[in-house]
Amino acid sequence: MNNVLKFSKKSRKWLFGLMILFVVLVCDQLSKYWILNIFDLPEKRSVEILPCLNFTMVWNKAITFGMLGDVLGQYAPIIFAVLAFSIAVGLFVWMIRASKLCVILSLGAIIGGAVGNIIDRVRFGAVVDFIHLHVNGWSWYVFNIADSAIVCGVGMLLIDAFFRQGSKY
């Protein structure tokens, strides 16, 4: 019985990924709650925070950067949520099998972001996006904390893949 409850040092590393997953998920959902219910961004539509940062309300019914939103019609939120959940499960399996801490943390961030956006799709039929960066006429797509965690996690995985030494994952 004791052996069942004991984790080896290697197998405990994935708990750090789980911790990052929950931190990202909580920060994402709290920020969206605040934007929708306290700051009331849907009513205000867009508010300048800094000269290069606005909070702009966007309900993203599509995939990244608005892709495929109109193609799948009313079933898009369900299809995207199921697809994202399936990918998140696969990434979670990868995370608990991984041995490198940077890979584990990256996957935790990606999964936390994916779950945050899945929750939005299930609750609202769309993802709540509100962070809008712009400089000198250049404007980036409106995004949220979950999107940021996914991009940073993927970036860390790519850096690890290019500069990897030793373990293959």
Catalytic residues: 129, 147
**In which element (H, E) is residue 89 found?**
helix 76-97
Q: How far apart are the first and last CA of the chain?
A: 30
Instruction: Say how many CA atoms lie within 13 Å of 104 toward its Cβ.
Output: 16
- Spatial contact of 148 and 32, defined as CB atoms under 8 Å apart: no
- Spatial contact of 67 and 58, defined as CB atoms under 8 Å apart: no
